[in-house]
């Protein structure tokens, strides 16, 4: 601030005093005045870049705040969708019927699913998709009866006659004590006694939701269905974003440390340690939230070198001090160096734009008439390209996905030209914090 203020007061003084007494000897000559004017212009340019950077930073902060608030806001009004029945000959996963919650269906072996395999509760209290049904196969297809069973036509229905030791509508269960692979058998906590009642001298037994019956008809037991495993075997994605934990009769999802389970019960959302003050960054360093954690950063300006020296003008920006008029090397050194920290998920789909760099020309003064953008450094340059996205803007594009966890750096520059003559160079140092997960 101070040098600029001095220039302007000085300039003002000169202009006014010279106008009043044009012959005054105390005035600077034209050359000196022009030099001062140029330095003033540079100073204003610097101020403007800083101002633009400041606004960008504030916008980013606001967006972050907005996101946090939107996520944290309670559902405006609890809307419920009607509870969906478990389809006959099928299973239902997911029990919540609030907005944005999903339920999934699968059919028992030998039955075909019609309608939707996943349905989501919409804000107007209706489910997406169509009613789900598990329909018996209408023909004796080769694999309808498993384990050596024979398919027979019985009126309109098709039925399996199972070979010895097999049972179930498709002969999929062994009549002996061996239950299907996806049931939990080695833990008594995951078994229940069936509820049985006698109808017409016939014993009828059933299991609670989330359990299935196995064993012989005289000696049956309800064993937990491992939803996590069934779902995986079915090749259906998305029961849980991270880890599925089977519990007796049901399941729940869990997230890695640094994340918490989102209100849909299946997604993981990052915990912003910086906003929630859960970080241990010391004073003088800044907290950067990353996927699953945080980093403490302290960007430093380059050390003075010859006529080139820098001053920190904001926590994330360095500006070059004015150069001696005739020092070429100083003039070519970066005029501003800014620092950027981007958290990224692992294995991001590419190509994806990561960062934009634009020029800011002072009002009433012609801006640079051409710009050149480039990648000047960093430890993984091969993953990026820098290209122009419009006349004033360059864009850093990730072209090869990055596998986390890792931190990597890339340095880009923008050179401004006016009438083919070099004006100034700006450098942005970008650090990417790639999380260990794809979310």
Ligand X SMILES: *[C@@H]1O[C@H](CO)[C@@H](O)[C@H](O)[C@H]1NC(C)=O
| Choices 153-161, 198-206, 217-225, 321-329; region in contact with ligand X by CB under 6 A | 321-329
Q: Nearer to ligand X by C-beta: 258 or 299? A: 258
Residue 116 makes contact with ligand X by CB under 6 A: no
Q: Nearer to ligand X by C-beta: 220 or 307? A: 307
Residue 257 makes contact with ligand X by CB under 6 A: no
Count each helix (H run) and each strand (E run) in the chain, helices first: 4, 30
Q: Nearer to ligand X by C-beta: 14 or 281? A: 281
Residue 326 makes contact with ligand X by CB under 6 A: yes
Sign of the dihedral defined by the CA atoms of residues 142, 146, 147, 152, in that order: negative
Q: Kindly give, in sequence order, each residue whose CB lies less than 8 Å from that of residue 273, ignoring residues fewer than 6 positions away.
A: 258, 279, 287, 289, 293, 294
| Choices 42-50, 119-127, 136-144, 200-208; region in contact with ligand X by CB under 6 A | 119-127
Task: Give the nearest distance from C-beta 320 to ligand X in angstroms.
Answer: 13
Q: Single out the residue of 176, 206, 243, 329 in contact with ligand X (rule: CB under 6 A).
A: 329
Residue 304 CA to residue 320 CA, distance in Å, equals: 10
Binding mask 288-307 for ligand X (x = CB under 6 A): ------------------xx
Is 376 buried (19+), middle (13-18) or exposed (0-12) by CB count in 10 A? middle
Residue 387 makes contact with ligand X by CB under 6 A: no
- Contacts with ligand X in 268-287 (CB under 6 A)? 280
Q: Nearer to ligand X by C-beta: 99 or 396? A: 99
Q: Nearer to ligand X by C-beta: 188 or 306? A: 306
Q: Token pair of 363, please?
A: 């009002």
Residue 324 makes contact with ligand X by CB under 6 A: yes
Cis ω before 351 (30° cut-off from 0): yes
Q: Kindly give, in sequence order, each residue whose CB lies less than 8 Å from that of residue 294, ignoring residues fewer than 6 positions away.
A: 273, 274, 278, 279, 281, 287, 288
Minimal CA–CA distance to 267: which of 116, 101, 120, 126?
Answer: 101
Q: Nearer to ligand X by C-beta: 224 or 272? A: 272
| H or E segment and range at residue 14 | helix 2-20
Interface positions with ligand X (CB under 6 A): 122, 124, 126, 280, 306-307, 324, 326-327, 329
């Amino acid at each position: 601030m101070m040098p600029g203020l001095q220039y302007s007061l000085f300039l003002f003084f000169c202009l006014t005093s010279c106008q009043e007494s044009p012959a005054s000897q105390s005035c600077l000559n034209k050359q000196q005045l022009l030099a001062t004017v140029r330095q003033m212009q540079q100073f204003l340019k610097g101020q403007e870049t800083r101002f633009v950077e400041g606004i960008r930073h504030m916008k980013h902060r606001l967006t972050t705040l907005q996101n946090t608030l939107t996520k944290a806001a309670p559902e405006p009004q609890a809307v419920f969708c009607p509870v969906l029945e478990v389809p006959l000959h099928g299973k239902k996963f997911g029990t919540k019927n609030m907005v944005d919650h999903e339920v999934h269906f699968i059919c028992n072996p030998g039955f075909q699913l019609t309608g939707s395999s996943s349905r989501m509760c919409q804000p107007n209290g209706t489910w997406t998709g169509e009613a789900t049904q598990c329909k018996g196969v209408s023909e004796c297809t080769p694999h309808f009866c498993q384990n050596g069973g024979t398919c027979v036509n019985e009126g309109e229905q098709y039925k399996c006659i199972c070979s010895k030791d097999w049972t179930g509508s498709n002969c999929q269960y062994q009549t002996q004590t061996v239950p299907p692979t996806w049931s939990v058998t080695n833990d008594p906590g995951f078994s229940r006694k069936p509820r049985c009642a006698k109808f017409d001298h016939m014993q009828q037994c059933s299991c609670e939701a989330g359990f299935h019956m196995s064993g012989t008809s005289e000696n049956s037991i309800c064993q937990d269905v491992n939803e996590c495993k069934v779902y995986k075997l079915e090749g259906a994605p998305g029961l849980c974003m991270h880890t599925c934990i089977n519990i007796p009769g049901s399941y729940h999802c869990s997230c890695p440390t640094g994340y918490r389970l989102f209100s849909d019960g299946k997604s993981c959302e990052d915990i912003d340690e910086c906003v929630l003050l859960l970080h241990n960054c010391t004073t003088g360093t800044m907290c950067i939230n990353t996927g699953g954690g945080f980093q403490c950063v302290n960007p430093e300006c380059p050390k003075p070198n010859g006529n080139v020296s820098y001053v920190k003008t904001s926590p994330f920006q360095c500006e070059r001090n004015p150069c001696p008029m005739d020092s070429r090397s100083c003039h070519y050194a970066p005029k501003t160096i800014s620092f950027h920290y981007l958290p990224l998920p692992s294995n991001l789909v590419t190509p994806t734009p990561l960062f934009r760099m634009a020029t800011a020309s002072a009002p009433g003064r012609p801006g640079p008439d051409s710009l050149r953008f480039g990648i000047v450094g960093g430890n993984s340059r091969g993953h990026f390209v820098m290209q122009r996205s419009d006349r004033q803007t360059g864009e850093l594009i990730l072209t090869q996905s990055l596998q986390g966890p890792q931190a990597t750096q890339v340095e880009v520059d923008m050179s401004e030209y006016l009438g083919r003559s070099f004006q100034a160079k700006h450098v942005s140092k970008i650090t990417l914090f790639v999380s260990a997960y794809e979310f």
